[in-house]
Amino acid sequence: DWGGISPLTPDFVNPEFSWPEINQVENNSKIAGFDLKCRFPIYPEFFSFISKKLRDKIAVIQNEEGYVNEEYWR
């Protein structure tokens, strides 16, 4: 889990550093044997703890693994 990476917002945790380029993070992840995925603020295994209303909204854009469908973050 790389934490939050956003080209749209400033990095409030480490403001002295700019966000890394998502493509660079993806390439480095692949070299290390991992696939870059976009997740919701809650891991898929904990979806049962949130309200049905929120689960229904997540269901619209999640993939079969419970992560954000690639078309929504690419």
Any domain includes 48: yes
| 43: in domain | yes
- In a domain, residue 57? The reply is yes
- Domain count of the fold of the chain: 1
The answer to whether residue 52 is domain-embedded is yes
Give the per-residue pLDDT at 67: 94
Whether residue 33 is contained in a domain is answered as no
pLDDT in the model for residue 59: 96
pLDDT in tens, the chain (74 residues): 777 787 778 888 888 988 888 899 999 999 999 999 999 999 999 999 999 999 999 999 999 999 999 998 87
The model's pTM: 0.72
Query: What does the alpha-carbon distance between residue 67 and residue 63 come to, in Å, rounded to a whole number?
Result: 6
61 within domain boundaries? yes
The CA distance from 68 to 12, in Å, is 23
**Host domain of residue 56:** 38-74
Is residue 26 within 8 Å of residue 36, measured between CB atoms? Answer: yes
